[in-house]
């Protein structure tokens, strides 16, 4: 595959092609599951409460397992974890598909499958994040993140949900669940063909809880990491509730739209994200990578203001596209930053902390969106969602002196020069961070605001770095 442009360079490596294929199939299954779950609940006579229970179990399982997943990813070969996850998803969804097609499915087993899906997601992303740079050289990591940023919204937010909708309409929810299980089985087959990479740490004498504590200690003592995760968690608190809960009402009340118009806005977010990822992946990492990344996320929220005052659907669609482009562009940088600066022995745990901390305020944000809009109105709430994150980004950049940090640890030089000069693997990053690390799975950073399949019928703008 010589002569590939920079953005496609990781595809030169057979192992990465297998992993990327498994990721694509997993994302497709995720999108299929999102819609199949909704209509299976409806087909069983369940209402909003039943769907909320299933999605809450999925979200709870994900958050409960992600820190454990990070500890396991640093002590167990990641391929084994990914294979176990794919087989768990295949078995859980396959069972409810068989029960559904046989007319014997009840809400209990369906909710249990949703819980299994959430647990699997929490285990998946840290392992995926800790595996990719073991298969891809450092110079191709930015492009690998960009490829994932293009594929993720296309499959999880567009192709998967659309295919599930067609299957449900033409056949039944059980048929959509069966295709979901087969897709997960295909992902498992791709993972099974991967080589087993060695664990990059000595685990003798350490327990899982000690591993988690070590990861938390590293996060707290590493300024650029702590600053970014604190900013991301606060941004999610301010942003995700308005985007998830209030945007549909803005579309309905101000633009006279409905579900199809809401789908257009979400599709614009995904398309914008794919474009933003592709653009960033086509160039070297920015010299001021910490500043650019945080400002992309912070300033990228400004288009949310549009939803508070416009009555034109096309303006809302454009705003969602800009929002998606900025978020995904920042996330590509973030995934590469983790791969290049986090010691390999800690990468799984840091990836899980990234996912956990960034998602911690998501339920609270969605719970507060309604009451806050009742006090401030839609316009006032969208103003907060759009204008507070840029301020938070500036505080993170300046208070933690991120410009000085990025100057001291340049990542915009070619990987071979960086290794020779010691520009990478010094200071807070620890030695040996090059050549083995990880790729953000989509759950990293604020881009992973809500993983597909967790938020229920209202699609969210993305799924856990990994």
Mean pLDDT per 10-residue section of the chain, whose length is 466 residues: 54 80 91 85 81 76 82 84 94 96 94 92 84 78 77 79 84 94 96 78 63 86 94 92 83 82 79 86 88 96 95 94 92 87 82 77 78 90 96 96 93 52 31 26 38 33 31
Max Cα distance, the chain (Å): 65
Burial 5-25 (b: 16+ CB within 10 A, else e): eebbbbbebebbebbbbbbbb
Confidence (pLDDT) at 205: 54
Q: What angle do CA 270, 67, 28 make, to 5 degrees?
A: 30
CA-based end-to-end distance of the chain: 26
Secondary structure class of 252 (helix, strand, coil): helix
DSSP code at position 200 = S
CA–CA dist 266, 246 (Å, integer): 13
Which pairs with CB-CB distance under 8 Å and at least 24 residues apart come from 157-160? 157/31, 157/266, 157/267, 157/269, 157/270, 157/452, 157/459, 157/462, 158/31, 158/267, 158/270, 159/28, 159/31, 160/27, 160/28, 160/29, 160/30, 160/31, 160/32, 160/33, 160/34, 160/35, 160/452
- Are the CB atoms for 360 and 238 separated by under 8 Å? no
Query: DSSP for 76-116?
Result: S-HHHHHHHHHHHHHHHHHHHHHHHHTT---HHHHHHHHHH
CB 73 within 8 A of CB 346: no
pLDDT for the residue numbered 133: 75
Please state, in angstroms and rounded to a whole number, the distance separating the CA atoms of residues 396 and 296: 13
CB 332 within 8 A of CB 425: no
Q: Domain 6-193+208-448: what homologous superfamily?
A: MFS general substrate transporter like domains (1.20.1250.20)
**Measured between alpha carbons, how far is 412 from 327 in angstroms, rounded to an integer?**
20
The domain segmentation of the chain, as residue ranges, is 6-193+208-448
């Amino acid at each position: 595959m010589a002569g590939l442009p920079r953005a496609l360079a990781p595809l030169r490596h057979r192992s990465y092609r297998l992993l990327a294929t498994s990721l694509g199939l997993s994302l497709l299954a995720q999108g299929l599951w999102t819609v199949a779950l909704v209509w299976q609940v409806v087909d069983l006579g369940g209402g909003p409460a039943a769907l909320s229970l299933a999605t809450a179990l999925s979200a709870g399982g994900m958050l409960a397992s992600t820190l454990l997943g990070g500890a396991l990813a640093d002590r167990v070969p990641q391929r084994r974890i990914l294979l176990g996850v794919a087989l768990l998803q295949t078995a859980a969804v396959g069972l409810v598909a068989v029960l559904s097609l046989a007319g014997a499915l009840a809400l209990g087993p369906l909710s249990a499958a949703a819980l299994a899906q959430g647990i699997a997601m929490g285990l998946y992303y840290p392992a995926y994040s800790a595996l990719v740079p073991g298969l891809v050289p450092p110079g191709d990591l930015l492009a690998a993140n960009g490829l994932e940023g293009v594929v993720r919204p296309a499959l999880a937010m567009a192709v998967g949900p659309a295919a599930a909708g067609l299957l449900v309409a033409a056949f039944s929810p059980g048929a959509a669940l069966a295709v979901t299980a087969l897709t997960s089985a295909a992902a498992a087959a791709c993972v099974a063909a991967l080589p087993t990479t060695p664990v990059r740490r000595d685990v003798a004498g350490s327990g899982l809880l000690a591993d988690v504590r070590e990861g938390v200690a590293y996060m707290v003592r590493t300024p650029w990491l702590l600053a970014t995760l604190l900013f991301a968690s606060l941004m999610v608190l301010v942003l995700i509730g308005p985007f998830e809960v209030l945007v549909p009402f803005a579309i309905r009340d101000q633009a006279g739209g409905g579900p199809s118009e809401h789908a257009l806005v979400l599709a614009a977010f995904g398309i914008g994200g794919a474009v933003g990822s592709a653009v960033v992946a086509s160039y070297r990492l920015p010299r001021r990578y910490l500043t650019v990344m945080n400002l992309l996320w912070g300033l990228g929220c400004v288009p949310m203001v549009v939803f508070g005052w416009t009555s034109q659907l096309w303006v809302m669609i454009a705003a969602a596209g800009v929002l998606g482009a900025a978020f995904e562009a920042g996330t590509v940088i973030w995934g590469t930053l983790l791969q290049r600066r986090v010691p390999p022995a800690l990468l799984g745990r840091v990836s899980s902390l990234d996912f956990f901390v960034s998602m911690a305020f998501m339920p609270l944000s969605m719970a507060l969106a309604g009451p806050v809009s009742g006090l401030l109105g839609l316009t006032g709430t969208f103003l907060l969602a759009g204008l507070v994150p840029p301020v938070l980004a500036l505080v993170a950049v300046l208070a933690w002196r991120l410009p000085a940090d990025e100057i001291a640890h340049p990542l915009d030089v070619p990987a071979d020069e960086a290794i020779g000069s010691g520009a990478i693997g010094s200071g807070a990053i620890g030695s040996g961070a090059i050549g083995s690390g990880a790729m953000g799975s989509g759950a990293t950073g604020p881009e992973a605001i809500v993983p597909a399949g967790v938020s229920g019928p209202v699609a969210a703008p993305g799924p856990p770095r990994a």
